[in-house]
Amino acid sequence: MLRFTNTRTLQQTSLMKSFLRLQSTVTIPKMQKGVIFYETGGPLHYKDIPVPKPKANEILINVKYSGVCHTDLHAWKGDWPLATKLPLVGGHEGSGEVVAMGENVKGWKIGDLAGIKWLNGSCMSCELCESGHESNCEHADLSGYTHDGSFQQYATADAVQAARIPKGTNMAEVAPILCAGITVYKALKEADMRAGQWVCISGAAGGLGSLAVQYAKAMGYRVIGIDGGPGKEELFKSLGGEIFVDFTKTKDIVAEIQEATRGGPQGVINVSVSEAAISLSTKYVRPTGTVVLVGLPAHSYVKSEVFSHVVKSINIKGSYVGNRADTREALDFFARGLIKSPIKIIGLSELPNVYKLMEEGKILGRYVVDTSK
């Protein structure tokens, strides 16, 4: 069995014959390192696995970094009412370089920087795809869920949906933008607010939350955040958040938020993984305001008391990642320096430790894995 850590080492050896060449000058190995699991909730193996071959419509990306999203934990635990492929390589915030492409690919060249998103591909011909709701497509193919994702050194992505990353971008820092950034930016748009209004980010110090605080600021909103545990308030304030509510210490969260915002925030972005926190947001939101559901706690329902829901005329809506335009716009905020990625970089082999910390709610910002380690 071949054992190696990167392509350069391979190039220097006599194993050149075992290389696969795909219409480029880039040398692509047959095997690579990845994290794979064979059964839901089963062991996570860091091992040599085959490099996938791009289909006619796909690009092959040499993944350098990948963010670790809470969705990856849901996929491994299998707690959503949607089956994953098995065995599965997770990950859907991958940043890297195009090293090969299928014969029908247009608009990409070898060496371009590309991103692997949650929405790997969709049919592009149904009514939802036609109207820019590609993530809601019945045939959506999902990275790290129904399609092997970015927790490997080489991954495939539909050329139409893959994110375009400008040359010169910091590849580790851009990774979380590819799911968390796009998702919170889209959710803030869905909240339909005006500059100067209050938005509450529930789950403000996690991966999505820490980016939501910054996108909200960049879009001109005032930010109140809810989270709990050591270091969370400090992170929230360092990202430009104005008022922090610690849910582990505050007795009456509704009263505190309504008082601080003089009547409640006009918008709420729910990125916590807590059913109770989501239902609470229907109580403190301002009359005529919008509650956006983003976090996906398993087996959960949002409970909103009908009388006040009607009399306050509040809106509750779901928001699911974003389309290609949202992707381009979210990346543009990042490229302009308005969004800082609060990341910790570790080796891909250490992925199981991240899942453990995530389960315990102990993560500040985002962990990003380096696929070479």
* Residues in contact with ligand 8ID by the rule CB under 6 A: 69-71, 74, 179, 183, 202-203, 205-209, 226-229, 247, 271-274, 276-277, 294-296, 319-321, 358, 361, 363
Picking from 271, 67, 272, 302, the residue whose alpha carbon sits closest to that of residue 188 is 271
**What is the contact mask toward Zn ion in residues 177 to 196, using x (rule: CB under 5 A)?**
--x-----------------
What is the per-residue DSSP string for 257-279? Answer: HHHHTTS--SEEEE-SS-HHHHH
Pick what 147 binds: Zn ion, ligand 8ID, none; C-beta below 5 to 8 Å, kind-dependent. Answer: none
How many other CB atoms are there within 10 angstroms of residue 353's CB atom?
Answer: 11
Q: Hey, what's the torsion of the CAs at 323, 329, 334, 336, to 10 degrees?
A: 170
The kind and range of the H/E element at 158 are strand 154-158
Shortest separation between residue 155's beta carbon and ligand 8ID, angstroms: 18
Would you count residue 122 as binding Zn ion (CB under 5 A)? yes
Query: In which residue are the tokens 């509510």 written?
Result: 245
Q: Which does 72 bind (CB under 5 to 8 A by kind): Zn ion, ligand 8ID, none?
A: none
Min separation Cβ 225 and ligand 8ID, Å: 9
> Per rule CB under 5 A, is residue 137 in the interface with Zn ion?
yes
Number of C-alpha atoms within 13 angstroms, CB side, residue 300?
A: 19
| Closer residue to Zn ion, CB minimum distance, 28 or 114 | 114
Query: How many residues appear in the chain?
Result: 373
Q: Which one of ligand 8ID, Zn ion, none is in contact with 122 (Cβ closer than 5 to 8 A by kind)?
A: Zn ion
CB nearer to ligand 8ID: pick between 78 and 361:
361
Among 32, 57, 71, 95, binds Zn ion (CB under 5 A): 71
Report strand pairing: 58-67 vs 366-370: antiparallel
| Minimum distance, C-beta of residue 203 to ligand 8ID, in the bound complex (Å) | 3
**In terms of CB distance, is 209 or 289 closer to ligand 8ID?**
209
Write down the least CB distance from residue 218 to ligand 8ID, Å.
18
Q: Select the residue interacting with Zn ion from 22, 44, 123, 346 (CB under 5 A).
A: 123
Sole binder of Zn ion in the list 126, 160, 335, 346 (CB under 5 A): 126
Q: Which residue is nearest to ligand 8ID (CB)?
A: 206
Return the residues of window 288-307 that contact Zn ion according to CB under 5 A: none
Instruction: Tell me which of Zn ion, ligand 8ID, none is bound by residue 273, counting a contact when its beta carbon lies within the kind-specific cut-off of 5 to 8 angstroms.
Output: ligand 8ID
CA angle centred on 84, ends 80 and 89, rounded to 5°: 120
203 binds, among ligand 8ID, Zn ion, none (CB under 5 to 8 A by kind): ligand 8ID
Main-chain phi, psi angles of 125, to 5 degrees: -130, -10
126 binds, among Zn ion, ligand 8ID, none (CB under 5 to 8 A by kind): Zn ion
**Helix pair 351-359, 70-77: axis angle to 10 deg:** 90
The least CB distance from residue 292 to ligand 8ID, in Å, is 9
Q: How far is the CB of 138 from Zn ion (least distance, A)?
A: 6
Closest CA to 71 of 246, 206, 268: 206
DSSP string, 75-123: HHHT-SSSPPPSSB-----EEEEEEEE-TT--S--TT-EEEE-SEEE--
Site size with Zn ion, rule: CB under 5 A: 8
The residues, ordered by sequence, that sit 6+ positions from 177 with a Cβ below 8 Å of its Cβ are: 93, 115, 211, 330, 331, 334, 339, 341
Residue 66 binding result from ligand 8ID, Zn ion, none, given CB thresholds of 5 to 8 Å by partner type:
none
Main-chain phi, psi angles of 21, to 5 degrees: -115, 125
Q: Give the footprint of Zn ion on this chain (CB under 5 A).
A: 69, 71, 122-123, 126, 129, 137, 179
